[in-house]
Amino acid sequence: MKKYILLVLALCFASVQAQISITESDVALFYQQDYTFTTHVNNTLTSIDIGGIGQQVYDFSALTFDMTYNSQGKSVSSSPYLAEYPGTQYSLYYETVSQGIPAQSWLHTSIVGGKYQLNGIGTNTTVQGINTTIKVKYNPARVLYNLPITYNSTATISINGVTESITSFFGQNIVNSIPLISSEKYTVDGYGKLKTPDGKTLDCLRVRSEETHTVNGTTTTSISYGFITKTGEQVTVSFKEGVIANSGIVDVNNVSYSEGRGSATGIEEDFATMPNDFKLYQNYPNPFNPTTNITYALPKSGNVQLKVYDILGNEVADLVNGTKDAGFHTVNFNASNLASGMYIYSLRSEGININQKMLLMK
């Protein structure tokens, strides 16, 4: 009987340990200035397995994609839309191309009173010489999550805002506004391990979102699932209209995956707090072709140099050269103009010099 009790206690303890909590500091690191991450989108997939409620292994390792774009944390003052979104604390810039149409977007967020909020999004696009600016505004700021996010967290949130489009046509501005009135209920109904398309296995939470929209008197409900980690990785599954399932294989509109700071080599725990020492992590993926991510940690702000050399010591890339804040920084390195082979990347800051090797295989 004693052995049985000990076994039950051990299993319960392991289960608790498997659950994670996503905090304000986790979200803030995601938006750190100069941090760049890649988002991949599959718009052609028709169905996918979302696993189930409770403790699970959510396996998205076989996902493929037909669209990719990079996002980068920017200083708030650099956003051309800042005046439209008072209270913004973090800015994220990204460029996308959809159906051959390029767009440049700025996302504005904040964390106030434990609430992770979306202040709004500004987007600019030009088609055949016609420029259009689209501003999504929320009043008050749209609450994305109440922090910290843990297993069984739930909330119902009212959303009020407007989508404003301004099209410049032959010197005239045509303005159109559409009200945004909806409510969203999110529930963290699962936790466990997330297997990502880039080879990582990370602790995650599964979040179900049900958003009810009312536009011109017509009400619809959209459902999605987010599989989120402490280090920024996230798989998002958007359901087809009418699908309400919470487990198994479901019909979808699209699936996306945002890369984060975690690593297939298990260093993701380092990113849970601010660094205490200088570190230069192994690039991922490695070997690579032609792009890879290089992450480094700074315990204090200072001048930083991050350079890449060939095996003969010739400098082939200057990735960072300037003052950086304390924290974790990730840089995307594109070696499309280099030959296959071994390369050295070197971090210099405040008198330290750290080197790592990486392999380019074309």
Using the predicted structure, report yes or no on whether residue 10 has a pLDDT greater than 80. Answer: no
* Percent of the chain whose pLDDT exceeds 90: 69
Retrieve residue 199's tokens: 């080879």
Say if CB 347 and CB 354 are below 8 A apart: yes
Structural domain spans, the chain: 18-258, 274-360
Say if CB 256 and CB 243 are below 8 A apart: no
pLDDT of residue 12: 35
Say if CB 8 and CB 16 are below 8 A apart: no
Among 3.30.930.10, 3.40.30.10, 2.60.40.1930, 3.40.50.2020, name the CATH number for the domain at 274-360.
2.60.40.1930
Best mean pLDDT range from 30-34, 218-222, 227-231, 235-239: 235-239
pLDDT in tens, 28-48: 888 888 888 999 999 999 999
Retrieve residue 319's tokens: 């990735």
Using the predicted structure, report yes or no on whether residue 214 has a pLDDT greater than 80. Answer: no
Q: Cα 197 vs. chain centroid, distance in angstroms? A: 14
Retrieve residue 30's tokens: 């995601």
The burial of 129, by beta-carbon neighbours within 10 Å (0-12 exposed, 13-18 middle, 19 or more buried), is given as: exposed
pLDDT of residue 163: 94
Using the predicted structure, report yes or no on whether residue 6 has a pLDDT greater than 50. Answer: no
pTM score = 0.72
pLDDT of residue 271: 57
Mean pLDDT of the chain: 89
pLDDT in tens, 260-298: 887 665 455 555 567 888 999 888 777 888 988 898 989
CA-CA-CA-CA torsion sign (271, 356, 288, 101): positive
Retrieve residue 316's tokens: 């082939």
pLDDT of residue 11: 32
pLDDT of residue 14: 36
Q: Stretch 148-156: mean pLDDT, rounded?
A: 97
pLDDT of residue 95: 95
Q: Stretch 139-165: mean pLDDT, rounded?
A: 96
Q: Stretch 95-117: mean pLDDT, rounded?
A: 94
Q: Nearest CA to 132 among 145, 123, 140, 141?
A: 123
DSSP code string of 181-207 = EEEEEEEEEEEEEEE-TTS-EEEEEEE
pLDDT of residue 3: 35
Say if CB 123 and CB 103 are below 8 A apart: yes
